[in-house]
């Protein structure tokens, strides 16, 4: 909930009472520190303490020690109204109940340990939220994970409305998860990787399910999951040096159990991330075998799946290859060659051929890849094939491939490389052929960049005639050679834009074109065109008003 949206989230009756409290001055104290606003509100019988956690303009959590059992009480509403109006750090006034306020910061250090324990137990019995927070902060690791899960679920529950979490409540819902992530990070920094893994798994096990009932347009849930799995990766890397074998096995099983849960069936990328983290345990022969079994089992389950299943299957095959590479290189090589139908495997095989000097085999693998992906992305294989021909010193094949690849996304790089392959006397004729081919080529065609590099002013003029809007940025290239033609194209372009403009925003866009027009065609031409347009569109006063500013 944002401070600006109180009326959308709080009961109308509560809002009215809260606003009355605020307007009547019943907020006795309101101050802020580290994103937490603390207030004292004069109640019917005595003052109540209110706290509000904020992140920017987002209300993450509210608390009041009054007995009201709803989501928001009138005391919290009063404080939220005051915060929205900027009333912070108000000097305390004397309470109508005549009770003298004692600062908690002064009271706690004076209390005996047994009294403090008794008070905390009593408060925990009365307010379960306090018990959850104490367990979250101070419990041993087993209870710490359970307390974290309770807290994560509690924030999610509070943010739900009719079983759904709207866009504006996502940060509020994730607050418990973010606190747990921060705690996991603290544990990592303190050299406690086991706690880091278990806390991060706790986050993932709950947050992944939010994707089914949350508007995550902002990507916040994905960010939390990404952070959690990164912490797991880092913790495993640190822990491998200190964990005994039994602990490694225990943690790997915990991660595998989470990864294989059905809640990841619709979000296989997060399952793949968790399985990838497990591969770090593969240096241990026993754990390698333990990991291989569930991976092979999952592969069987994925047979016949759609593209999403294919992605997961290829990823798992890659993990298996890593396992075999850490154990038996011959077995790994045979596994690689037997699974070249997976693009990542074929690419790895080609790169190994290039590294070993087996260029002909690399070319053969690339040609197979091009044939198999005839209707898909062949750019990877042509790029690797070009590298092989370059290492072989075959300029003819490099030219042939370069001509094919020049219309792709990296076309300009291949154009530059292609130019180096031709002798200077050959290049002009080749360039003409390329420009003819590229002019009506793919949307990634480097045609414009090439004619600018080659300084082909005739082609630039031709390009501007076909696409008049381009004259705004291209006129400097042909200013000296074609001043009259630039003026004709630019003037027609501005007149056309004016004819289609129908509101002040569009009129302003038209007048902004006069700045480059003035540089291209001169002050006098700009003034004359503006005057002509004012006469032509005299019935559009807003447009005339904007043109007056030219």
Range of lowest pLDDT (76-90, 117-131, 283-297, 511-525): 117-131
Chain position carrying tokens 């802020």: 32
For residue 520, CA distances in Å to 142, 281, 336, 466, 513 come to 73, 66, 61, 19, 11
For residue 92, CA distances in Å to 65, 177, 181 come to 19, 35, 37
Which range, 157-161, 221-225, 368-372, has the best average confidence (pLDDT)? 221-225
For residue 477, CA distances in Å to 197, 461, 474, 513 come to 59, 9, 6, 18
- The string over 133-151, giving b where at least 16 C-beta atoms fall within 10 Å of a residue's C-beta and e elsewhere, is eebbeeeeeeebbebbbeb
Report the pLDDT averaged over residues 252-270. 95
- pLDDT band for position 375 (cuts 50, 70, 90): low
Q: What is the pLDDT of residues 265-318, one digit of tens each?
A: 999 999 999 999 999 999 889 999 999 999 999 999 888 666 567 889 999 999
Answer whether residue 90 shows pLDDT above 50. Answer: no
pLDDT at 421: 94
pLDDT at 131: 67
Q: What is the pLDDT of residues 166-224, one digit of tens each?
A: 988 898 899 889 989 999 999 999 999 999 999 999 999 999 999 999 999 989 999 99
Token pair, residue 171, equals 């940060």
How far apart are alpha carbons 125 and 121 in whole angstroms?
6
Q: What is the DSSP letter of 2?
A: B
pLDDT at 377: 67
pLDDT at 410: 78
Range of lowest pLDDT (26-40, 243-257, 316-330, 389-403): 26-40
pLDDT at 89: 61
How far apart are alpha carbons 544 and 537 in whole angstroms?
7
Collapsing DSSP to helix, strand or coil, 24 comes out as coil
Answer whether residue 101 shows pLDDT above 60. Answer: no
For residue 507, CA distances in Å to 91, 472, 511, 532 come to 52, 17, 6, 15
Higher pLDDT, 122 or 234: 234
Answer whether residue 537 shows pLDDT above 90. Answer: yes
- pTM here? 0.64
Q: What is the pLDDT of residues 8-38, one digit of tens each?
A: 778 888 899 999 999 988 998 888 877 788 8
How far apart are alpha carbons 317 and 401 in whole angstroms?
31
pLDDT at 272: 96
Answer whether residue 366 shows pLDDT above 90. Answer: yes
Token pair, residue 331, equals 């077995």
Higher pLDDT, 351 or 408: 351
**What share of the chain has pLDDT > 70, as a percent?**
90
Answer whether residue 461 shows pLDDT above 60. Answer: yes
pLDDT at 45: 65
pLDDT at 142: 65
235: number of Cβ within 10 Å: 26
516-519 contacts at long range (C-beta below 8 A, 24 or more positions apart): 516/472, 516/475, 517/490, 517/491, 519/475
Answer whether residue 262 shows pLDDT above 60. Answer: yes
Answer whether residue 430 shows pLDDT above 70. Answer: yes
Higher pLDDT, 69 or 318: 318
pLDDT at 305: 62
Identify whether the C-beta of residue 239 lies closer than 8 Å to the C-beta of residue 195.
no
Answer whether residue 328 shows pLDDT above 90. Answer: no
87: number of Cβ within 10 Å: 14
Answer whether residue 240 shows pLDDT above 80. Answer: yes
Answer whether residue 98 shows pLDDT above 50. Answer: no
- pLDDT band for position 337 (cuts 50, 70, 90): very high
How far apart are alpha carbons 533 and 496 in whole angstroms?
11
């Amino acid at each position: 909930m944002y401070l600006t949206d109180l009326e959308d989230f709080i009961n109308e009756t509560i809002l009215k009472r809260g606003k009355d409290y605020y307007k009547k001055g019943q907020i006795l104290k309101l101050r802020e520190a580290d994103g937490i606003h603390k207030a004292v509100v004069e109640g019917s019988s005595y003052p109540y303490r209110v706290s509000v956690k904020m992140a920017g303009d987002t209300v993450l959590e509210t608390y009041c020690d009054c007995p009201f059992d709803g989501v928001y009480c009138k005391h919290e509403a009063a404080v939220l109204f005051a915060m929205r109006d900027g009333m912070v750090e108000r000097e305390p006034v004397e309470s109508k109940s005549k009770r003298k306020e004692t600062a908690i910061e002064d009271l706690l250090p004076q209390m005996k340990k047994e009294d403090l324990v008794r008070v905390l137990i009593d408060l925990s019995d009365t307010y379960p939220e306090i018990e959850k927070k104490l367990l979250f902060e101070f419990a041993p690791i087993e209870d710490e994970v359970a307390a974290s899960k309770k807290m994560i679920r509690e924030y999610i529950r509070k943010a739900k409305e009719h079983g759904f979490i709207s866009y504006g409540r996502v940060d509020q819902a994730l607050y418990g998860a973010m606190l747990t992530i921060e705690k996991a990070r603290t544990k990592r920094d303190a050299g406690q990787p086991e706690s880091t893994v278990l806390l991060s798994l706790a986050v993932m096990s709950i947050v992944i399910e939010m994707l089914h009932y949350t508007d995550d347009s902002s990507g916040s849930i994905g960010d939390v999951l990404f952070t959690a799995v990164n912490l797991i990766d880092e913790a495993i890397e640190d822990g491998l040096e200190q964990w005994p074998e039994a602990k490694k096995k225990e943690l790997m099983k915990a991660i595998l159990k989470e990864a294989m849960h059905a809640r990841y069936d619709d979000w296989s990328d997060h399952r793949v991330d968790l399985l990838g983290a497990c591969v770090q345990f593969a240096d241990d022969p026993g754990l390698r075998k333990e990991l291989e079994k569930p991976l092979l089992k999952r592969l069987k389950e994925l047979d016949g799946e759609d593209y999403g299943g294919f992605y997961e299957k290829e990823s798992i095959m890659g993990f298996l290859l890593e396992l075999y590479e850490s154990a038996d290189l011959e077995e790994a090589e045979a596994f690689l060659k037997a699974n070249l139908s997976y693009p990542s495997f074929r690419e790895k095989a080609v790169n190994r051929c290039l590294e070993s000097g087996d260029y002909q085999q690399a070319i053969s693998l690339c040609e197979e890849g091009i044939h198999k992906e005839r209707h898909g992305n062949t750019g990877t294989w042509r790029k690797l094939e070009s590298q092989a021909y370059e290492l072989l010193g075959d300029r003819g094949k490099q030219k042939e491939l370069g001509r094919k690849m020049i219309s792709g996304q990296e076309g300009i790089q291949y154009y530059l490389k292609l130019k180096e392959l031709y002798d200077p006397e050959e290049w002009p004729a080749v360039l003409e052929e390329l420009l003819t081919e590229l002019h009506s080529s793919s949307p990634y065609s480097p045609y414009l960049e090439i004619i600018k590099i080659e300084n082909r002013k005739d082609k630039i003029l031709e390009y501007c005639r076909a696409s008049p809007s381009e004259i705004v940025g291209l006129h400097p290239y042909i200013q000296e050679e074609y001043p009259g033609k630039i003026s004709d194209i630019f003037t027609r372009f501005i007149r056309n834009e004016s004819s289609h403009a129908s509101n002040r925003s569009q009129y302003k866009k038209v007048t902004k074109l006069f700045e480059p027009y003035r540089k291209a065609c001169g002050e006098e031409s700009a003034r004359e065109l503006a005057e002509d347009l004012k006469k032509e569109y005299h019935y559009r006063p807003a447009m005339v008003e904007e043109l007056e500013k030219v």
